[in-house]
Amino acid sequence: MRIPPKASQAIAVALLGGATLLTLAVLVFVIVFVLGKGLPVINWAFLLDVPREMGKAGGIFPTIVGTLVLPLVAIAIALPMGVGTAVYLTEYTRPGRVTSVIRFGTDCLAGIPSIIFGLFGYIFFVTILRMGWCILSGALTLAIMVLPTIIRTAEEAIKAVPNSYREVSYSLGATRWETVLKAVLPNALPGIVTGVMLSVGRCIGETAAVIFTAGTALRLPDSLFDSARTMAVHFYILAREGISNENAYGTAAVLVISVLIVNSVSYWMMHKFISGRSA
Amino acid sequence: MAAPVIQIENLNLHYGAFHALKNVNLAIGAREITALIGPSGCGKSTLLRCLNRMNDLVPGCRIEGAVRFEEKDLYARGVDVCGLRKRIGMVFQRPNPFPLSVFENVAFGLRVSGLTDRASVNAVVERSLRGAWLWDYVKDKLGAPALELPLDQQQRLCVARVLAVEPEVILMDEPCSALDPISTAKIEELMLELRAAYTIVIVTHNMQQASRISDRSAFMLMGEMIEAGGTLGLFTKPTDKRTEDYITGRFG
């Protein structure tokens, strides 16, 4: 039996619309749930005070600092490496055996669970290099973790830059490096920023790899060689150890809000940049 | 013919197994407009791109023979290709400004050359825009995105961008094929004006265009140089049967 076209159309609209609605509903539910439980806990003291009694009382200020610093350092390490790799793969080599091996490697790296990166970071940075649990160990580990994301998004962004820009640049006497710097990368920037945003999101939400490498110290870190705790880790420990569900939700709410702020600000900046450059 | 500034000698070019240019010889006179004509795929754009070594960027491209620019072979060892491309500029088929402001487009070549002094950059940008007959249209909106200009102004902006690096030769690869007849007329007028100071080589599909603006024409067919000479002579008394067939519209 054939379904009449009008009916199949109606069914398609219902299914697709339903799928969209469901996705949206889940997102809204999660945010409302977390904010509903967490917002009542949040006040200036919660944001700006140090934790007391392992986080049962007091605020979460050091974990906010940890959450800001760890991804920042990680991106500062991963961005030049990742974009450099992407530029090398796209602009300096022709597709061949070597590039496909490198691409295969980065794809494998992308599929590895974060706990494995945590273990690697613990063995290599913390133990072998004797860096101990510290922000730098954590950031290096996170950098390795997000490197594939940054490489692949940067690569796609660079490939999407019209070839005519390269041609014009070369025809005006630019070298390969000048062409990359002045004609390719500025036009690939929106794509690269997207990769960075994805990476920042992963770093902020990461727990396993961070606990193993940056530790869980609740003290406010003095330097990159101090151990630190991020909000995600703090939330995990508060909930896991049954210290304070209230404060756990408070932390989660701050986490969700900061992710929203980071994303909004970066999209706004990107939009401003793009509209400043082109029609 | 004026004293030749570029001499193409026994030039052969292969794209992989494809023999795209077959033993091409051509002299290009200084401060003249030389038109390369011929049907699609005859190798005229390929030949043009040999003159500023843009074919270097094409994987699997092999070149034999010589292109002498002021007596020196462009394909000799140790030639500074970037310096060469500053002396032999190029305007492309489609207007292709960068997604930058009008000003920054013209200044691109200067930034690459490392010229940072603001006053000199401003001076060169103004001079180049004037040279491309664009200054009066854009002087009040130098900061506006170049992609907002009408197409013919975009193409003249591309000319200004080339003028800014002060080339001696300008290569034009079907510069009017994306433009309407009125815009085309403006670009042609500009080319005739530029001829006073620059050597111009233009690839064109449009035989009226070749006859309107060029001093010399070269007809190519399937990678071979069939006939080259003064435009008037070539169009009125072609010596080769194939040239005659092409310019009378029997094929192509």
| B170-224: pLDDT as tens digits | 999 999 988 889 889 988 999 999 999 999 999 998 889 999 999 999 999 999 9
Question: From B149, which residue of chain A is nearest by alpha-carbon distance?
Answer: A279
Chain A residue set in contact with B, beta carbons under 8 Å: 94, 162, 164-175, 178, 182-183, 187, 277-279
Whether the pLDDT of residue A138 is over 70: the answer is yes
Would the CB atoms of B96 and A164 count as touching at under 8 Å?
A: yes
A173 and A229 assigned to the same domain: yes
Spell A86-111 as b/e; 16+ CB within 10 A means b.
Answer: bbebbbeeeeeeeeeeebeebeebee
The answer to whether B90 faces chain A, any CB pair under 8 Å, is: yes
Closest CA to A182 of A165, A197, A199: A165
Number of Cβ pairs closer than 8 Å across A and B? 70
- Residues A123 and A25 grouped into a single domain: no
Which value, to the nearest 10 degrees, does the dihedral of the CA atoms of residues A231, A235, A238, A240 take?
-140
Q: pLDDT: is A277 or A155 the higher one?
A: A155
Question: What is the distance in angstroms between the Cα of B218 and the nearest Cα belonging to chain A?
Answer: 23
List CB contacts of A105: < 8 A, sequence separation 6 or more.
none
* A98/chain B closest Cα distance in angstroms: 17
Domain that holds residue A161: 44-277
The H or E element that residue A100 is part of is: helix A97-111
B169 touches chain A (CB under 8 A): no
Query: Does B93 reach chain A within 8 Å, measured CB to CB?
Result: no
Best B112, B141, B174 member to test A by mutation, with max A CBs in 10 Å, is B112
Distance from CA of A192 to the nearest CA of B (A): 17
Q: B173 has which bridge partners?
A: B203
Contact of B186 with chain A, judged by CB distance below 8 Å, is answered with no
Residues A155 and A35 reside in one and the same domain: no
Closest-CA distance of chain A to residue B111, Å: 9
Same domain, A63 and A24: no
- CATH number of the domain that residue A252 is part of: 1.10.3720.10
pLDDT of residue B148: 92
Confidence of residue B7 (pLDDT cuts 50, 70, 90): very high
ipTM of the complex: 0.91
**A279/B148 Cβ within 8 A:** yes
Q: Tell me the pLDDT band of A56, cut-offs 50, 70 and 90.
A: confident
- Return the pLDDT at A151: 94
Level-2 CATH architecture, domain B4-247: 3-Layer(aba) Sandwich (3.40)
Residues A162 and A178 in one domain: yes
| Residue range B159-169: mean pLDDT, rounded | 94
- Comparing CB atoms, the residue among A171, A178, A278 nearest residue B99 is A278
Are A167 and B54 a contacting pair at CB < 8 A? yes
Measure in Å the smallest separation between the Cα of B39 and chain A Cα atoms: 23
Q: Residues with Cβ < 8 Å from A97, sequence gap 6 or more?
A: none
- When scoring A94, A165, A171, A180 by the number of chain B Cβ atoms within 10 A, the one with the most, hence best to mutate, is A171
- Tens-digit pLDDT profile for residues B63-115: 999 999 998 999 998 899 999 999 999 999 999 999 999 999 999 999 888 88
Q: How far is B97 from chain A (nearest CA, A)?
A: 8
How many domains would you assign to chain A? 2
pLDDT in tens, B21-51: 999 999 999 999 999 999 988 999 999 999 9
Average pLDDT for A234-258: 92
- Shortest CA gap A84–chain B (Å): 20
Q: Are A192 and A274 in contact (CB under 8 A)?
A: no
Q: Which residue of B has its CA nearest to A181?
A: B112
pLDDT tier, A194 (very low <50, low <70, confident <90, very high otherwise): confident
> In the structure, what pLDDT confidence band is assigned to residue A276 with cuts at 50, 70 and 90?
low
For residue A54, what are its two tokens?
A: 């392992």
pLDDT (tens digit, 9 = 90+) per residue, A256-266? Answer: 998 888 888 87
For A85-122, what is each residue's pLDDT tens digit?
999 999 998 888 888 898 899 889 888 999 999 999 99
Answer yes or no: do A238 and A107 share one domain: yes
The answer to whether B83 contacts A173, with C-beta atoms less than 8 Å apart, is yes
pTM given for the model: 0.84
A279 falls in which pLDDT band (50, 70, 90)? very low
Q: Which residues lie below 8 Å from residue A232, measured CB to CB, with a gap of 6+? A: A67, A204, A205, A206, A207, A210, A255
The residue of B98, B115, B141 whose CB has the most chain A CBs within 10 angstroms, and thus the best one to mutate to test that interface, is: B98
- Amino acid identity of residue A90, one-letter, is T
User: Is pLDDT of B252 > 70?
Assistant: no
- Give yes or no for residue A17 having a pLDDT over 90: yes
Nearest CA in chain A to B98: A165
Alpha helices in B5-80 (DSSP H): 44-50
**CB nearest to B145's CB, from A166, A171, A278:** A278
Search chain A and give the residue with CA nearest B100.
A277
Note whether A172 contacts B162, CB cutoff 8 Å: yes
